[in-house]
Amino acid sequence: MLLLLLALVAGCEKEAAMIDSDCGLDVSADTPGWIHEAGSLAWLEARIEAAEASPAAYRQYLYVQQARYQGKAVFVFGNCCPDCNGLTSIYDCSGASLCEDLTDCPSLEPVLTHRQTIWRSDKCRCTL
């Protein structure tokens, strides 16, 4: 019985921290709070502020998600606008573009993991 209990406890050890060296975020699979701290990524905060300042008719379809791509944190700026092109852009921690339009790089979105919505407008119509 003691051996079984020890085996169970040993099997429940947490995964080692996986730190994104570009922005210092812990992107471990079992770390629920790996979303960036407010103010830690100035370019991201500026882009979210720009989205918040968008006209209300468009802003209701905007969202920002944080995800993991090849062990790194990435940020997905998307929209669910039914009458728009549905442009989705993906950026790394430094703000460099990995993809400006998923129609140009459709293979990127399916390999994004651990997606978490970090911003959407208060009247967002997207079902995320």
Closest Cα partner for 120 from 67, 40, 66? 66
Coil, helix or strand for 53? Answer: coil
Classify the phi-psi angles of 38: left when phi > 0, otherwise alpha if psi is within -120 to 50, otherwise beta.
beta
More confident call, 31 vs 27: 27
Element (H, E) at 15: none
First vs last Cα of the chain: how many Å apart?
45
Residue 54 has what pLDDT? 87
Distance, in Å, from the CA atom of 95 to the CA atom of 115, rounded to the nearest integer, reads: 17
What gap in Å lies between CA 87 and CA 85, rounded to an integer? 5
Q: For residue range 47-100, list pLDDT tens digits in order.
A: 989 989 988 888 899 999 999 888 888 999 988 888 876 678 899 988 999 888
**8 A C-beta contact, residue 30 and residue 15:** yes
Contacts by residues 9-13 (CB-CB < 8 Å, ≥ 24 positions apart): none
Task: Give the mean pLDDT of 111-119.
Answer: 88
